[in-house]
Amino acid sequence: MTYTDEMYADMAAQANETGKMLYIVNGELEINEPDYYICTEGTIETDGTLNPDFGKISKEDKIAKIQEELFLLDQKRIRAVCEPELKDAQEGQTWLEYYNFKVFELREQLAQLQ
């Protein structure tokens, strides 16, 4: 179905009035409870209930993801040491400085989780 701006606005207003969310599912607009759907790798999923834990990432999974990102950043930092270039010429920031900042942020997140 093709939705006009007016139809979309009406459905968005209806969702706001009822405290619900407006979802686009397979090209169709649908009003449902918040957290009813999750999207993983471009696929919308639901367990058909309003289970608040559905689709939530576990603490261990978050830690593993951060560790994976740190590993990838370490590889990028090695290249940045070997091939020093400016990331931002106006600010004078090198790629190594940029990656070091990202690592610092991730280590802070990791410390909060552990």
Does residue 51 fall inside a structural domain?
Answer: no
User: Residue 66's domain spans which residues?
Assistant: 59-113
Q: Are residues 64 and 37 in the same domain?
A: no
Q: What is the pLDDT of residue 37?
A: 57
If one counts the domains in the chain, the total is: 2
Does one domain contain both 27 and 63?
A: no
CA distances from 88 to 32, 72, 92, 98, 99 (A): 44, 21, 6, 9, 13
Do the strands 21-25 and 28-32 form a parallel or antiparallel pair, or are they unpaired? Answer: antiparallel
pLDDT confidence tier of residue 35, bands split at 50, 70 and 90: low
Both 77 and 41 in a single domain?
no
Residue 108 within any structural domain of the chain: yes
Q: Are residues 37 and 64 in the same domain?
A: no
51-98 pLDDT, tens digit each: 555 556 778 888 888 899 999 999 999 988 988 888 887 888 898 999
The CA distance from 40 to 57, in Å, is 11
Residues 72 and 96 in one domain: yes
Q: Residue 74: inside a domain, yes or no? A: yes
Judging by DSSP bridges, how do beta strands 38-40 and 28-32 pair with one another? unpaired
Q: Distance (Å, rounded) from C-alpha 107 to C-alpha 100?
A: 10
Q: Is residue 54 part of a domain?
A: no
Q: In this structure, how many other beta carbons lie within 10 angstroms of the beta carbon of residue 76?
A: 15
